[in-house]
Structure 1
Amino acid sequence: MVLRKAGPAAAATGVAAIGFIALVTIGTYAASGTPQASANRAALSAGSVPAAYQGLIQKWGALCPEISPPMLAAQLYQESGFDPSARSSVGALGMAQFLPGTWAIYGVDADGDGKKDIWNAADAIASAATYDCSLAKDVAKVPGDRQDNLLAAYNAGPYAVEKYNGVPPYKETQGYVKNIKALARSFTAPTAPVEVSQQSAAAIYFAQTKLGTPYLWGGEGLPSQDGRFDCSGLTQAAYASVGITLPRVADDQWYAGPHPSRDQLRPGDLVFWATDLNDPRSIHHVGIYVGGGYMINAPHTGAVIRYDKIDTREYIGATRVTSDGAEALPVRNADGSITGKGGVGGGATPDAPASPTAAPAAAAPATPPAVPPAASRPTAGAPPLPADQGPSAAGQPTAKP
């Protein structure tokens, strides 16, 4: 996640003179917004899924009333990160991570080539929707929210949902339902101003205290790294300072909340760059928006943490970080397998859809873990800009560390 060295910006003096704490305070708390209402027919947010799959997810996400395109996208992202060649340690295969036995029942030939191919993205997307709708039918007579019951059946099996007359009291299943619905908001096209984050000013304050710190490829601000950061290490640490845990890499941080449009940006939003503006998997740089068209970022080797303009080539969009959105993100290992928060589990295997008939093992009633508490906004003023470090025009992102 690097940003090539940039030239000086003509507006440096003017932006510095405004005072970034004042800019942040005005931008963060004067903006009005309302929470997004969910809808089963919600459209996908632009740039939230690879363009090659957007039409398929939009189509198959409308297969039955209990699912939606954003919900289906959230499941596919959590299962494989939209990777058609994903293979788990327990034998779940393809973008939708079906076990071969389950695929034999629910596999769909969506592209009409005469084969139900678990490795084919079109077939996998259609089959995931078909499986979801089959589960929805299995638990259709259970009272409560129909999408919640479907997701619970996906994780724990229909038997458990019927037994408990709704979402069963399994911590993992309750967490799965909550996480998929929270993650779906990142895939939903906003229909009104996106709600403003209350932690954003404090996250920016943390980043401001790091201005002038040299960039380090792979840096997370550790003492052994002399407190240096790379781009996503800085954003991760800034939000950790307010009790929100982000993934380590930029392309996963993209899904930590809804995506405001350029004209709806507010201080504290994460802003991103990608080599392919039609594919969020190509995201390679991230910064923290501070208002006035500028961000704080750790640009590249040889540079320091600084202010840069955001309106440059390869800008793909922004994310307004939420506690629920960040908590819902899966922890993805180097081999593509999923562990930790947000990961699929329960039922038949930890990495694949539960069997539609198998009863889950007994589990003690529990509640999902609490969302990390938000830190209070600091009262201290912003540190002054380093003498040689006014805002500068951003260069172009190039590659991940």
Structure 2
Amino acid sequence: MGKIAAAALGLLVLVAVLGGAGAGGMLSGFGSSGTQPSASALTDIPSDYLALYMDAATTCPRLDWSVLAAVGKTESDHGRSALPGVHSGTNDAGARGPMQFLLPTFQSVIAKHPPPQGGATPPSPYNAHDAIYTAAAYLCDSGARDGRNLTDAIYAYNHADWYVSDVLTQAQAYASGAGFGADATPTAAALQAINYAQGQLGLPYEWGGNGPSTGDAGFDCSGLTRAAYTAAGISLPRTAQAQYDAGPRVPAGQQLKPGDLVFYGNPGGAIHHVGLYTGGGQMIDAPRPGKTIRIEPYRYQGDDYAGATRPFKLTTRSIG
């Protein structure tokens, strides 16, 4: 039996063992949490951890299990890491357990959201059940509830842009079809563009900026998207308006794919901003003077979203 088949069988066996409400809760995660596990998820995530991620995610509306699993992967390789603090003691920062909680944070969260039965008594950050349910509650309270601000939620977990980027990228790999949905698989060029843009996180916004390779300190919005797609072998015009006009347009109401360019302004008039959609309702963009390149929601209250385009190579076929 192959690794993927064995992992899938292990998950099904665990469902049968759980039974009753526990199994129902886990199974509901396949629908309410949005995605099913990809082959890489079934291969990489231990079946007991996968069941916990999927069930715990259902306690927070619109929190996809893959995000919770990506945090677990990044923090401790799903409890497999032998580093200090994972199984006993703490790391240099005082964090402990498979989800790497500071003890005051863990105690504060469980006081508001006690984990369900099935863990340690009293709840322990070293116990995978308790740690994963507590991580779901912490992400939920920090912005993940109802998809309000997933980026802020992940940033609250670890205050670093690289951490947000790594977690979202890992979540996409774990979801069935990169980009949080089987119909949202990106092209190879789109993944290259996203990878380039992620490498620019934290650089300053610079009006007319084309990036450090040209001697500029940073980028403006269209300079970043143009450079990202240049790295993927696709030539784009220089300004946001010209990129919007170049198309091809994503039809209104169609699901966005990672790598789509998202635009802001008046579709029949002036386009003033562009970002690179990365999946999960997020984009990478160079926002405005005084800010740095960052990951943020592509839709926000009061925005003037105008639509999206989907650059592609004429000489290659999409893998989506």
TMscore range, shorter length: 0.3 to 0.5
Task: Choose between structure 1 and 2: higher helix proportion.
Answer: 2
Length-normalised TM-score, structure 1: 0.35
- Length-normalised TM-score, structure 2: 0.43
